[in-house]
Structure 1
């Protein structure tokens, strides 16, 4: 396991690479009236309609972050080159991914997730959708793309399966082997839903809530007041068109499944502070 800390705060790039990207940026001026930032929705519903908004980066214009990205890219290359030099490429499974979306709403907002909405600390796709690349010798083909939604919990059963070790469902629980998808990117997995649970505030500005993904549909439930949002990611990847009021039956079904999952995993929710507003409970 190799964890890169490079694309994370503190934002510190190699001076020569930072200079390289500052020079590139100087040749890419914004048009008149154009901004590198857009306005995200209210940070907290408890603060009312006039509460603060949080800016979200919508243009990639951060030389230090770009320098850090290049350094990480080179580091990954060093690892892969070393495997090849030592004759281990055909015996090594490589998986590359991130633990969350890019930081676009706080701490310098170094990156943009456009066309995805939000970023790290948010339940929108900008916060939870990441790259997931797998190289499995003798199985995967270069350039193959699979659009089926998966999760990091699938690592363990996938590695067991690729190593011809019997699966251990009591250990990997919600995780599923991705081998069927590696063999056929157009296939599917025996899993109805993916779930997310984020019952707190963070410095990135996201609201406490839960989410469920079923097929192309994604439902987000806010823990402050119980409001829900429904999006069809096949036609609205940026989550701009809320379908909750137009598709109440879909909301009812997905919300029921989400609440059943809460109970199954004993999910925790917001607790009332002395003198504070009473938070919503499912």
Structure 2
């Protein structure tokens, strides 16, 4: 049995053994880890964090994110980084498997087993609701190479316990269950079977970071490297934050212009009332949640530095989908990107995407080459000097040589990236798919087969549909997309009330 499994406790109970470490250890415990030549990995995933929520991506952001901005300045910041899907469970599937979620038919967020999918003009496609054990997760790949592995936060990849993190390659599971949001909110008591309650009023984002820091304390005393995935529940609803943080942003926002925070949005399927889209960032509670998340990221990165582990630790920071801008209070704005969570427009799939590798050249470089969450599986294995699993991470590209300046990002210039969402999203998004190749992006709607074409280099806002002006480009991208449907055995809308939806064969 690995020493990590002897030392660390499963089931999300407070790691009291590690909590007892004194501050003196922070100064003296780096020598043990220095014996390891394999780098550690800290993989940070924030739930529902929008592209424009981070100062490094949006200098006019209402939110303050100095710690993440600093991380961006020390690593590579991808300006065209994408989540594999506009909602959470499928994107997490991709992050953990290196496969596009369509290959696993995991195309929508995972509800309870017997809950039907939302329908609109037609019924949604059938989809799978677990991350199956047959997949070799990125955690299992690192575990095979002697790594200690830990998961903290939101899992949302299967209702049954047998599909939770401890059965998918993680030695430690703190807070990872079937839930897509905190079942009792962000303040203790949490009512989470993989996280013991803290003092009443303890804030979940801080608690998960406390646990991560405790783990780092223990890892710094052993020779084995570690792989840690910290998947914050924040900034998913419910919108809750410490009152002092909320008041800070209440004082900051422009209360004289709040009525101009929304515009009338796109209505693509029957709803009870017109959908509003937030176009101004001024939600104090959401801002406080972002600020708290940034503070906790800073605490963890500072702990790595104090422990001497930062010199041998890869850090990734990303989100599982775009910011929530069209539903459930629409707490953020993704402008200049169109749409948000649940939409195939850029606001739903383009996300913060930062990678820092020890001793990497060109720190702080902005890279416009398009990358996607599937890429992180092979990239992290290669960056750690571990063998790849090409049959597993079939839809990912190894970016490690590009990150280290050994080959050009032009290697990605001819890649096509695909997005497939045959569902009616909670946020109002329409069923469809998209393909991006170079500067061009095509969206295909599944209700009627209508396509839209955008040139993202000239129109990142996706306001100018060029489909009628460039029929050859439409044909090129549509052909690629339809070939990809067949390759991945993609599913589509189903009939409803005798009405048949469009099919690509037509």
**TM-score, with normalisation over the residues of structure 2?**
0.52
Q: What is the number of residues matched between the two proteins?
A: 274
Secondary structure at 2:371 match in 1:
coil
User: Equivalent residue for 2:286?
Assistant: 65
The answer on 1:238 being equivalent to 2:458 is: no
User: Equivalent residue for 1:21?
Assistant: 249
Counterpart pick for 1:93 among 290, 314, 328: 314
1:278, distance to aligned residue in structure 2 (A): 1.5
Matched-pair contact (CA < 8 Å) for 1:93–1:134: yes
Q: Can you list the C-alpha shifts for 1:198-247, whole angstroms capped at 9, x where unaligned? A: 00002100000000000000000000000000000000000000000000
Structure with the larger RCO, 1 or 2 (CA within 8 Å, 6+ apart): 2
The answer on 1:119 being equivalent to 2:335 is: no
Tell me how far apart the structure 2 counterparts of residues 147 and 140 of structure 1 sit (CA, whole Å): 17
Secondary structure at 1:41 match in 2:
coil
Secondary structure at 1:230 match in 2:
strand
Tell me how far apart the structure 2 counterparts of residues 264 and 235 of structure 1 sit (CA, whole Å): 31
The answer on 1:281 being equivalent to 2:506 is: no
Counterpart pick for 1:149 among 370, 375, 382: 370
Counterpart pick for 2:257 among 30, 34, 42: 30
Counterpart pick for 1:167 among 381, 385, 388: 388
Matched-pair contact (CA < 8 Å) for 1:43–1:52: no
User: Equivalent residue for 2:470?
Assistant: 247
Tell me how far apart the structure 2 counterparts of residues 56 and 186 of structure 1 sit (CA, whole Å): 39
Tell me how far apart the structure 1 counterparts of residues 348 and 279 of structure 2 sit (CA, whole Å): 14
Matched-pair contact (CA < 8 Å) for 1:6–1:71: no
Aligned pairs for 1:132-211 (under 5 A) are: 132-184=353-405, 187-189=409-411, 192-211=415-434
Tell me how far apart the structure 2 counterparts of residues 156 and 271 of structure 1 sit (CA, whole Å): 33
Tell me how far apart the structure 2 counterparts of residues 39 and 181 of structure 1 sit (CA, whole Å): 42
Matched-pair contact (CA < 8 Å) for 1:57–1:110: yes
**TM-score, with normalisation over the residues of structure 1?**
0.93
Secondary structure at 1:56 match in 2:
strand
The answer on 1:80 being equivalent to 2:306 is: no
User: Equivalent residue for 2:234?
Assistant: 6
Consecutive unaligned residues of structure 2, counting only runs of 5 or more, are 1-228
The answer on 1:212 being equivalent to 2:439 is: no
Q: Can you list the C-alpha shifts for 1:227-270, whole angstroms capped at 9, x where unaligned? A: 00000000000000000000000001100100000000000100
Tell me how far apart the structure 2 counterparts of residues 63 and 140 of structure 1 sit (CA, whole Å): 38
User: Equivalent residue for 1:105?
Assistant: 326
Tell me how far apart the structure 1 counterparts of residues 470 and 480 of structure 2 sit (CA, whole Å): 16
Consecutive unaligned residues of structure 1, counting only runs of 5 or more, are none
1:121, distance to aligned residue in structure 2 (A): 0.2
| Compared CA separation, residues 30 and 276, structure 1 to 2 (3 A) | farther
1:39, distance to aligned residue in structure 2 (A): 1.9
The answer on 1:40 being equivalent to 2:265 is: yes
Matched-pair contact (CA < 8 Å) for 1:118–1:125: yes
The answer on 1:271 being equivalent to 2:494 is: yes
1:139, distance to aligned residue in structure 2 (A): 1.3
Secondary structure at 2:260 match in 1:
coil
Tell me how far apart the structure 1 counterparts of residues 462 and 268 of structure 2 sit (CA, whole Å): 17
Tell me how far apart the structure 2 counterparts of residues 64 and 257 of structure 1 sit (CA, whole Å): 43
Secondary structure at 1:211 match in 2:
strand
Secondary structure at 1:171 match in 2:
coil
1:51, distance to aligned residue in structure 2 (A): 9.1
Tell me how far apart the structure 1 counterparts of residues 350 and 236 of structure 2 sit (CA, whole Å): 17
User: Equivalent residue for 2:207?
Assistant: none
Matched-pair contact (CA < 8 Å) for 2:343–2:425: no
